[in-house]
């Protein structure tokens, strides 16, 4: 990835990912920080689809969910930390996921379930989109109600309830 597209100040809030991208061939090393005064860490723990919102889908089938996790960089710009189409740190989507009695364990679903951004005094800590990907044949249906990006600014473990789906997140400042 071109370094000019990296989030501003990434070398402060996520230096391991920044170094991995710039210098390849260093071998495996940890991306988790015990202490980083510049970072906000968001863990995606569980996802549960509660209601069939795609009954009008001409292709039928179960939901094809994809997440977009937004965080903020050192310039106060929003960037996509988790996105199906352009993932800086990881991406995730699934095909034909039935509406569930039990949540999906996102630690198992994602190769990396934790993401870093920068706490900025004028912005939320993170934002989330959850949509149903119809493969580009029709506009993506929301798996959230209301159908819009939801933003949050609190730390700790939290169940985020969007009526037709919910997710469990843990947010901390390592």
Considering only 54-63, 119-128, 148-157, which range has the smallest mean pLDDT? 54-63
How many CB atoms are closer than 10 A to CB 71?
A: 30
* Domains of the chain by start residue, with CATH: 7-172 (2.60.40.150)
Rounded to whole angstroms, the Cα distance separating 95 from 82 reads 17
Considering only 16-20, 52-56, 59-63, 126-130, which range has the smallest mean pLDDT? 52-56
**What percentage of residues in the chain have a pLDDT greater than 90?**
25
- Residues of 1-10 as b/e, b for ≥16 C-beta within 10 angstroms? eeeeebbebb
pLDDT at site 47: 92
pLDDT at site 13: 77
Considering only 79-88, 91-100, 129-138, which range has the smallest mean pLDDT? 79-88
Full-model pTM: 0.80
Rounded to whole angstroms, the Cα distance separating 66 from 93 reads 4
């Amino acid at each position: 990835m071109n370094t000019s597209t990296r989030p501003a100040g990434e070398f402060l809030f996520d230096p391991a990912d920044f170094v991995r991208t710039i210098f390849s061939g260093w071998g495996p090393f940890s991306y988790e920080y015990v202490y980083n005064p510049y970072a906000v860490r968001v863990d995606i723990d569980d996802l549960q689809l509660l209601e069939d919102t795609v009954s009008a889908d001409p292709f039928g089938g179960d939901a094809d969910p994809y997440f977009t996790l937004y965080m903020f960089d050192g310039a106060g710009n929003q960037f996509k930390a988790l996105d199906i189409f352009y993932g800086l740190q990881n991406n995730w989507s699934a095909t034909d996921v039935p509406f569930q009695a039990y949540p999906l364990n996102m630690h198992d679903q994602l190769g990396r379930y934790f993401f870093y951004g920068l706490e900025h005094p004028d912005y939320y800590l993170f934002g989330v989109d959850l949509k149903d990907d119809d493969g580009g044949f029709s506009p993506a249906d929301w798996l959230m109600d209301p159908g819009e990006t939801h933003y949050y600014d609190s730390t700790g473990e939290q169940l985020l309830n969007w009526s037709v789906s919910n997710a469990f997140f843990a947010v901390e400042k390592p």
